[in-house]
Chains A and B, each alone.
Chain A
Amino acid sequence: QSVLTQPPSVSGAPGQRVTISCTGSRSNIGAGFDVHWYQQLPGTAPKLLIHGDSIRPSGVPDRFSGSKSGTSASLAITGLQAEDEAEYYCQSYDSSLSGSRVFGGGTRLTVL
């Protein structure tokens, strides 16, 4: 059971917009700690997609955006492309767990 809760799967057709939620609590996202997002393509290592809730590293397309409100965060992907099919993970810090980085359980995005 992950501290941060993500839907196991989402799907969308090419060109559509999808969102992936990451739900936490008052000891992590709700306490104001930053949320970060990673993309993991099949058989590869994770890649940083968003940091500091909504900041895209250089090279990440602006089709990817992040937001946060209350105890939840979201990753939005617009103009869905076949190459976006991957696993997506959120990450934050939880002050109740001996001070620990925590990840969501991951969301599998399928491009129909």
Chain B
Amino acid sequence: DVQLVESGGGVVRPGGSLRLSCAASGFTFDDYGMSWVRQVPGKGLEWVSGINWNGDSTFYADSVKGRFTISRDNAKNSLYLQMNSPRVEDTAMYYCAREPTSGWYHFHYSTDWGQGTQVTVSS
């Protein structure tokens, strides 16, 4: 079974930094693109970032471009999201999600999701 387990969330001050991790198992990690999607408690979903199978192609929502960096380590079956200069409005549950193919395409979807890690940006 596909398993995606996020970690690294917590409370961070505005302007600080935080690194989220996602440990993948149950499938061949480097056969798939990956995404991060966030959800403000009680609100809707917002796509944050995507990456293809080998990390050569990365994509970001305008709201996080220039502040967040997505990366992956296929040897460790892990996905990461480096959050620099977070803002109060970045407070949300962050989900790691698997793509249906090795690429990452805007018109695609996420087939499997982790349980999320909560990030709170507060002074």
Contact = CB atoms under 8 A, between A and B. Distances in A.
A61 interface: no
Interface in B25-72: 37, 44-47, 50, 59, 61-62
B44 A104 contact: yes
B106 interface: yes
Contacts, number: 53
Interface residues of B, number: 21
Contacts of A47: 113
A51 interface: yes
A106 interface: yes
B95 interface: yes
Give the interface size bracket for A toward B. Answer: 20 to 34
A57 B113 CA distance: 14
Nearest to B96: A45
B115 A45 contact: yes
A104 B115 CA distance: 20
A98 B46 CA distance: 15
21 contacts: A34-B107, A34-B109, A36-B109, A45-B114, A45-B115, A46-B37, A46-B45, A46-B95, A46-B110, A48-B109, A48-B111, A48-B112, A91-B109, A92-B107, A93-B107, A98-B62, A100-B47, A101-B106, A102-B47, A103-B44, A103-B45
Interface of B: 37, 44-47, 50, 59, 61-62, 95, 100, 106-107, 109-116
